[in-house]
Structure 1
Amino acid sequence: MASPAHDPGPALDKDGVRLTVDDAIATVTLTNPAKRNAQSPALWRALTEAGRLLPGSVRVVVLRAEGKSFSAGLDRQAFTPEGFDGEPSFIDLARGGDAELDATITEYQEAFTWWRRSDILSVAAVQGHAIGAGFQLALACDLRVVADDVQFAMRETSLGLVPDLTGTHPLVSLVGYARALEICATGRFVTAEEAVNTGLANLAVPADQLDGAVHDLASAVLAVPRDAVIETKALLQGALGRDYEAQRAAERAAQARRLRDLAGLGE
């Protein structure tokens, strides 16, 4: 009888975040459904660590969440005078100097930045509520597949705050300035239908088909040569920051690299 395949177990499993790696696909799972995957500085540090732990073999990273909600946003404990154990409260942060406050927010943002690295393609599988920091975490990924019960909302303004976890740039890029402003200023819910129609989501499926749809998307990406995906992603990411002629030049340079590589002439 053949021995069972070795299961290396999760590469990371702490503070509401689990990272598993299966060859070219890594899965990052939010694992606190009892609190609707509410977020905290400890969770953000775990997400940052997950990004650093990705082996070079990974091409696709799937972000998913256990339970009925993707993430209900920032844990309300952050707004209490005590804050989280071992963490500065929001009041403590406000009382600190500008440099200290800026450094702290920068550290928090790191959990949201690595998903758009050029060497990977990230896909968020989003169900139920994705509010505030949860919305911004979904926006941090390259692509979003949503369940038909999804409800996005940016509620920071209702708390007297602004979205500061890197969500404003992708939101404007996806839906345009006017709609992004309206979504943020009102804090209203965005449904699956609107998300797909406005480009916020790539695909909406019944909730029980969410994992399967994401797997199919990941498989389609893995069927394409990795270097071609990396070059194409870089071209598209830089397109809005270049004028037409600069983008044409970037296309030529990227294609030259691909042709030389395919001809065995690459460096």
Structure 2
Amino acid sequence: MNKPTTAPLQDRVDSVKLHKAIASGKRPSPPNPAASTMAFATRALLRIKHIPEQLFDVTAFPIIFLLMFTYLFGGAIAGSTSDYLQFLLPGILAMTVCQITMYTGVDLNNDIRKGIFDRFRTLPIWLPSALAGSLLVDSVRYIMASSIMIVLGLILGFRPEGGIVGVLGAIALIIVFCFSLSWIWTTLGIVMRSEKSLMMASMMVLFPLTFVSNVFVEPETLPGWLQGFVSINPISLLVDAVRGSMHGTATLQDISWVLLASAVLIILFAPLTMYLYRNKK
């Protein structure tokens, strides 16, 4: 009879030795959702540190927009740039911050095209943390843009009758709304095949919403058929709440409409984004 071979036993011994040589310690447990989210937030901050020109949209653009619209249209619309500034600044603040939300989708689209996106999906982490970390840092960018515009406005003569509490409340409303609005661009960032197509789609949505609103003029001065759109425009609802908060005239209804619009955007687009994120081919 043939003697039993010792090859299988030797293979098991070699496998055990190899395992000890490679991983002698205990495998670390996966990070919790908070830790993985902060890791991706740190990644986004480091990217800004090494490419500081990314902050151009939250530093230079707000200054250019405020100066241009105040001194270009102030005299024609309100008869006084000082009077128009009191009306314009809350609206243009909301408009400017809403427009820079599109870069959330642009960053995600770049990660997909570079292959980093696929690497993230293979990691043993809470999957939404890759998006949540980026959105968290974007909130910091929104605060920077808001602070720059408000400081410049105060220098130019803006006087918020709602005081510091009203200003902080207005910034909080903007951050909440823009956070919810960003989910639209993350959805498009996954669907669109290039950065240019994403930028084009974002502009086609944002420009009508921000310019056909109550940012620059009172809705009562518009044609009747246009007033209906302006009254239900989410940007107009945000501007009403921000303007009222800064000047101390905001009502619970104004704030509730903004929170409701934000909730609807998150409910619609956050699950859709995560579905596409998990099933992206």
- TM-score, length-scaled by structure 2: 0.28
- TM-score, length-scaled by structure 1: 0.29
Write 1 or 2 for the structure with the bigger share of helix.
2
Write 1 or 2 for the structure with the bigger share of strand.
1
Q: Which one has more relative contact order, counting CA pairs under 8 Å at least 6 apart? A: 2
